[in-house]
């Protein structure tokens, strides 16, 4: 036998596309040629050296004939070291040392001694194998728990090339990998507790509203007032991931290569906090070669915290406008266009001016009006319109800081948030994502609420988008109170969360 085929997959976005690895051998005098075709990148072309050493060091030897490997289809780019294992097994199949390749999809990076290293995107490959009806998936042992969460595919985690050969030749009968402990067996949330926060009653109420309706929030206050402390505790009051959310979130992190070795499904909502020096590709996704997910996608179904927002380049912040509206990111390249999910809650924090003391009665602000406006101007009006709640976080008075009264724990707040989200789940969407066509139905106002909203829109000069977001926040406030209808008091509370941008930006 001189022609043999194995199956693998290439990752584009968060999807895996099947790839046939065709291996042919032919006589070529005394020269041992090794050619890879089918648009391989540098990592794939370099695999020939890894494969040669792995075959020799695993005791299989290396053929004296020339080897040509075709990665089909040939019109899409193949990236990464995950093709090492299928290419090596294809060579062994062409040598007559491996059988039964049609029942397996495989991936893995080879070390020179023949052991296997984990690769990215294995969860998407498992889903691809199930879709194609391929019953078995061979992956490095470090990826086995991740891939095993997909039903309908038997996942075998192997430690070396020799183990994979024994498995395919039915010389060994290992048990399929089992998924890591399920969501119901996972440990509790590791986020810090709201009980540690002294004072800031208004800010904590606003963050509870934001968590209950999946709203975006911006906190403005002087240095040391607790903005970062509050943001880091928001993950502790969010409801746990559903299985579907966990699967999609884990796929993103699998493709990005950020999963821990041996990890299965992510059990906690992501909390991403990029530094303000991040590039546009780092935030949104992209990069050279095949586009990779950025921070907005790594925060999918979780929180994206931007501390000191005006310190981010304005062009980077403006890129947030599309994912905040569409809940996805589209990255266009000359060869293809990829989409990444990006349904996240944005939590921003900033000082009111460069020195941080504008409006602080305890400290003198030394910034001129022009400097303050230039600083605040880093956040454009359209971006602010997409942030539902704008709240002030003032310095904590000494009496509250040293007081003995305990704050509510995250568990107590999380219980109220969970009840509010249960009401939203019956409608089929979170309040922040209410479709425009159902806004009037879901956010029906009483007559007093209509008057309150009309007065706010006229007095504050709110845009149509801000009007809709006030309605959605008011619906969340009503859900927290267990009210079936949005009342005037709910609208009034929602309106107060839109006052701050008018105080600072006008």
DSSP 396-448: PPHHHHS--PPPPPHHHHHHHHHHHHHHHHHHTS-GGG--GGGHHHHTPBPHH
Q: Is residue 414 part of a domain?
A: no
Q: Are residues 16 and 83 in the same domain?
A: yes
- In this prediction, residue 187 carries a pLDDT of 45
Q: Are residues 477 and 334 in the same domain?
A: no
Q: How many CB atoms lie within 10 A of CB 244?
A: 9
Q: Is residue 303 part of a domain?
A: yes
Task: Count up the domains in the chain and report the number.
Answer: 3
**CATH, residue 263:** 3.40.50.300
Across 140-146, average pLDDT: 91
- In this prediction, residue 180 carries a pLDDT of 67
* Listed range (104-108, 231-235, 319-323, 453-457) with the worst mean pLDDT: 453-457
pLDDT over 50 at 185, yes or no: no
Enumerate the β-bridge partners of residue 486.
445
Q: Which domain holds residue 317?
A: 194-408
CA 381 from centroid of its chain's CA atoms: 26
| CA separation for the pair 506, 497 (Å, rounded) | 16
Q: Are residues 333 and 200 in the same domain?
A: yes
| CA separation for the pair 304, 273 (Å, rounded) | 6
Asked which of 393, 408, 423 is the last residue of a domain, the reply is: 408
Buried b (16+ CB within 10 A) or exposed e, 98-120: beebeebbbbbbbeeebbbbbbb
Q: Is residue 377 part of a domain?
A: yes
- In this prediction, residue 388 carries a pLDDT of 92
Q: Are residues 352 and 206 in the same domain?
A: yes
Q: Are residues 198 and 149 in the same domain?
A: no
Q: Is residue 420 part of a domain?
A: no
Query: What is the chain's Cα-based Rg?
Result: 27
pLDDT over 90 at 500, yes or no: no
Q: How do residues 2-28 score in pLDDT, each as one tens digit?
A: 789 999 999 988 899 999 999 998 887
Q: Are residues 394 and 263 in the same domain?
A: yes
* Listed range (172-176, 201-205, 334-338) with the worst mean pLDDT: 334-338
Mean pLDDT rounded to a whole number for the chain: 88
- In this prediction, residue 273 carries a pLDDT of 95
pLDDT over 90 at 400, yes or no: no
Which of 367, 44, 65, 344 minimizes the C-alpha distance to 214? 344
Q: How do residues 65-111 score in pLDDT, each as one tens digit?
A: 889 999 999 888 888 889 999 999 999 999 989 987 778 999 999 99
Asked which of 116, 134, 168 is the last residue of a domain, the reply is: 168
Q: How do residues 459-480 score in pLDDT, each as one tens digit?
A: 888 888 888 899 999 999 999 9
What's the Cα-to-Cα distance from 72 to each of 18, 20, 33, rounded to whole Å? 9, 5, 20
- In this prediction, residue 231 carries a pLDDT of 93
Percentage of the chain surpassing pLDDT 70?
Answer: 94
Sequence-separated (6 or more) residues with CB below 8 Å from residue 46: none
Across 327-338, average pLDDT: 80
Between 21 and 172, name the one with better pLDDT: 21
- Please give the structure tokens belonging to residue 32: 């041992």
| CA separation for the pair 363, 462 (Å, rounded) | 32
Q: Is residue 130 part of a domain?
A: yes
Across 177-191, average pLDDT: 61
Q: Are residues 460 and 397 in the same domain?
A: no
Which conformational region is residue 482 in: left (phi greater than 0), alpha (psi within -120 to 50 degrees), or beta?
Answer: left
Q: Are residues 148 and 239 in the same domain?
A: no
| CA separation for the pair 256, 318 (Å, rounded) | 23
- In this prediction, residue 186 carries a pLDDT of 41
| CA separation for the pair 146, 180 (Å, rounded) | 7
- In this prediction, residue 405 carries a pLDDT of 75
Across 230-252, average pLDDT: 91
Percentage of the chain surpassing pLDDT 90?
Answer: 53
- In this prediction, residue 258 carries a pLDDT of 86
Enumerate the β-bridge partners of residue 138.
106, 156
Q: Are residues 8 and 139 in the same domain?
A: yes
- Please give the structure tokens belonging to residue 449: 């609420």
Q: Is residue 485 part of a domain?
A: yes
Asked which of 408, 443, 471 is the last residue of a domain, the reply is: 408
Q: Are residues 231 and 164 in the same domain?
A: no
- In this prediction, residue 335 carries a pLDDT of 65
Q: How do residues 254-312 score in pLDDT, each as one tens digit?
A: 998 888 777 778 888 999 999 999 998 899 988 766 778 999 999 999 999 999 999 99
Tally the C-alpha atoms within 13 A of residue 375's C-alpha that lie toward its C-beta: 18
Q: Is residue 111 part of a domain?
A: yes
Between 385 and 342, name the one with better pLDDT: 342
Q: Is residue 174 part of a domain?
A: no
Predicted confidence band at 153 (pLDDT cuts at 50, 70, 90)?
very high
> Is the distance from CB of 241 to CB of 421 less than 8 angstroms?
no
SS (H, E, C) 180-225: CCCHHHCCCCCCCCHHHCCCCHHHHHHHHHHHHHCCCEEEECCCCC
Q: Are residues 326 and 457 in the same domain?
A: no
Q: Are residues 356 and 398 in the same domain?
A: yes
Q: How do residues 480-494 score in pLDDT, each as one tens digit?
A: 999 988 999 999 999
- In this prediction, residue 181 carries a pLDDT of 62
**CATH, residue 119:** 3.30.230.10
Tell me if residue 269 falls in helix, strand or coil.
coil
Enumerate the β-bridge partners of residue 304.
272, 346
């Amino acid at each position: 036998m001189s022609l043999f085929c194995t199956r693998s997959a290439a990752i584009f976005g968060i999807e895996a596309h099947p790839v046939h690895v065709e291996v042919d051998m032919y006589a070529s005098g005394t020269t041992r040629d090794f050619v890879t075709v089918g648009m391989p990148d540098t990592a794939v072309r370099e695999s020939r050296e890894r494969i040669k050493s792995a075959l020799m060091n695993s005791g299989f030897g290396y053929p004296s004939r020339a080897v040509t490997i075709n990665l089909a289809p040939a019109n899409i780019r193949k990236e990464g070291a995950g093709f090492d294992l299928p290419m090596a097994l294809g060579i062994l199949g062409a040598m007559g040392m491996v059988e039964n390749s049609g029942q397996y999809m495989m991936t893995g990076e080879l070390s020179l001694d023949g052991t296997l290293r984990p690769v990215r995107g294995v969860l998407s490959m498992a889903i691809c194998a199930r879709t194609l009806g391929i019953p078995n998936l061979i992956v490095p042992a470090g990826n086995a728990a991740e891939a095993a969460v997909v039903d309908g595919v038997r996942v075998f985690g192997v430690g070396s090339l020799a183990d994979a050969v024994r498995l395919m030749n039915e010389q060994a009968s290992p048990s399929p990998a089992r998924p890591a402990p399920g969501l119901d067996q996972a440990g509790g949330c590791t986020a810090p507790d709201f009980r540690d926060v002294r004072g800031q009653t208004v800010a904590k109420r606003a963050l509870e509203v934001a968590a209950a309706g999946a709203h975006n929030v911006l906190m403005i206050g002087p240095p040391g007032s607790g903005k970062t402390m509050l943001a880091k505790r928001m993950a502790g009051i969010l409801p746990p991931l559903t299985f579907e959310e966990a699967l999609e979130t884990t796929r993103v992190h699998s493709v990005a290569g950020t999963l821990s070795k041996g990890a299965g499904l992510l059990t906690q909502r992501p909390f991403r906090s990029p530094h303000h020096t991040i590039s546009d590709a780092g935030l949104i996704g992209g990069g050279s070669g095949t586009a990779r997910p950025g921070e907005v996608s790594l925060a999918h179904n979780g929180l994206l915290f931007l501390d000191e927002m005006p310190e981010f380049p304005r062009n980077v912040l403006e890129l947030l406008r599309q994912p905040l509206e569409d809940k996805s990111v589209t990255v266009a390249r000359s060869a293809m266009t990829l989409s990444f999910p990006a349904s996240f809650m944005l939590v921003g924090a900033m000082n009111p001016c460069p020195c941080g003391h504008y409006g602080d009665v305890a400290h003198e602000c030394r910034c001129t009006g022009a400097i303050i406006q230039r600083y605040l101007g880093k956040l454009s009006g359209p971006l602010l319109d997409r942030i539902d709640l704008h709240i002030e976080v003032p310095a904590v008075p000494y009496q509250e800081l040293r007081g003995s009264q305990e704050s509510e724990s995250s568990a107590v707040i999380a219980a109220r948030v969970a009840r509010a989200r249960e009401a939203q789940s019956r409608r089929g969407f979170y309040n922040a994502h209410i479709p425009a066509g159902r806004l009037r139905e879901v956010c029906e106002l009483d007559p007093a609420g209509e008057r309150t909203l009309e007065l706010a829109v006229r007095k504050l000069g709110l845009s149509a988008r801000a009007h809709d977001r006030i309605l959605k926040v008011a619906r969340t406030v009503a859900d927290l109170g267990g009210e079936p209808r949005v009342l005037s008091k709910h609208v009034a509370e929602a309106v107060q969360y839109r006052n701050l941008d008018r105080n600072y930006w006008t």
